[in-house]
Copies of this chain bind each other. A is one copy, B any other.
Amino acid sequence: MPQRVSYFGPAGTFTEAAALKHDPQAQLLPYPSIAAAAEAVSAGQADEAVVPIENSLEGSVNDTLDLLIHHTSLLIHRELVIPIEHCLLVPPGARESDIRAIYSHPQALGQCRGYLARRFPNAAIVPAMSTAAAAERLAREPDGAAAIATMRAAELYGMQVLDRGIQDNPSNVTRFVVLAHQDSPPTGKDKTSLCFTFGDDRPGLLHAALGEFALRHINLAKVESRPTRQSLGQYIFLLDLAGHRQDPLVSEALLALQRHVSLLKIFGSYPRYEA
């Protein structure tokens, strides 16, 4: 029986591309939000969930961080990195000179701002809820219109790709994580993700906590703070570190970390993505 993989849909988004890369044989199940895709796994409707966690231009995907921090006991089983290539879609047979309106999500429109200003200074910019929704609208309202969306959306909605790689910054990649009931066994090239917070707010707390890793020569791949949602000025810290939580030194550091923090949640250990 093929695996059931839920993802933050609809079909035609970069998250679907990540889900396909994760498991080309899987039965893919789109959900309307990151939280709903994860909940499908918790509720047994899917085996694994694929959600975006970080974009090289935009930074972290806050809905996914909040899910991991507050709302799920699922673990990170794998990470994947997908290049984000925005395409200009038009109805079959349409030409560049026909384009008077361009549909897309405000974030995609922002990432292609320079291209749009150079090539389509007079086109109306029309916001959509997602790049896939933009392609779908283009299929319904094709006259004089184009959409910024994925290659896959062009395929799904029978649209033609007039131009590709139109984002202003060519090095635009997104990291996705696969969430499951289990994380992954050690491979020797692993990462561990976790979050912690402090009960009070004295100078040196973060420094002392990070010292447990420095002491054991464990490299930190990422450090981030997120507001606690209660108020600005209270933070939860998120770390990615090199190594598996079962590696002796990492395991020792995590035990030692417990003594510094008021809350520690380990999101899982999983193989480091290699292109």
- List chain A positions with a Cβ less than 8 A from chain B: 54, 56-60, 62, 65, 81, 105-106, 109, 125, 127-129, 169, 171, 173, 175, 201-204, 206-208, 210-211, 213-214, 216-227, 229-233, 235, 237, 242
Of B127, B175, B225, the residue contacting A223 (CB under 8 A) is B225
Tell me, rounded to whole Å, the shortest Cβ–Cβ distance linking A216 to chain B: 8
Tell me, rounded to whole Å, the shortest Cβ–Cβ distance linking A113 to chain B: 8
Bound state CA distance, A204 and B237, in angstroms?
17
Chain B residues within an 8 Å CB radius of A221: 233
Chain B residue, CB-CB nearest to A103: B127
Given A206-B210, A207-B213, A221-B233, 13 more pairs with CB closer than 8 A: A57-B229, A106-B129, A125-B129, A169-B229, A171-B230, A173-B232, A202-B219, A203-B217, A203-B219, A206-B220, A207-B207, A207-B211, A208-B214
Chain B residues within an 8 Å CB radius of A125: 129
Bound state CA distance, A59 and B81, in angstroms?
22
Tell me, rounded to whole Å, the shortest Cβ–Cβ distance linking A174 to chain B: 9
Contact B222 A225 (CB under 8 A): yes
What's the number of copies of this chain in the assembled complex? Answer: 2
Bound state CA distance, A60 and B217, in angstroms?
30
Contact A224 B227 (CB under 8 A): no
Answer whether A56 and B232 are a contact pair too, CB < 8 Å, given A202-B219, A218-B203, A220-B203.
Answer: yes
Bound state CA distance, A225 and B3, in angstroms?
35
Chain B residue, CB-CB nearest to A169: B229
Chain B residues within an 8 Å CB radius of A210: 206-207, 210
Of B59, B201, B208, B226, the residue contacting A227 (CB under 8 A) is B59
Please list 18 pairs of residues, one from A and one from B, whose beta carbons are closer than 8 Å in the complex, sorted by A's number: A54-B232, A57-B62, A57-B227, A59-B65, A81-B232, A105-B106, A105-B127, A171-B230, A175-B232, A201-B219, A203-B216, A203-B218, A203-B242, A204-B217, A206-B210, A206-B223, A207-B211, A208-B214
Query: Which of A54, A62, A233 has the most B CB atoms < 10 Å from its CB?
Result: A233
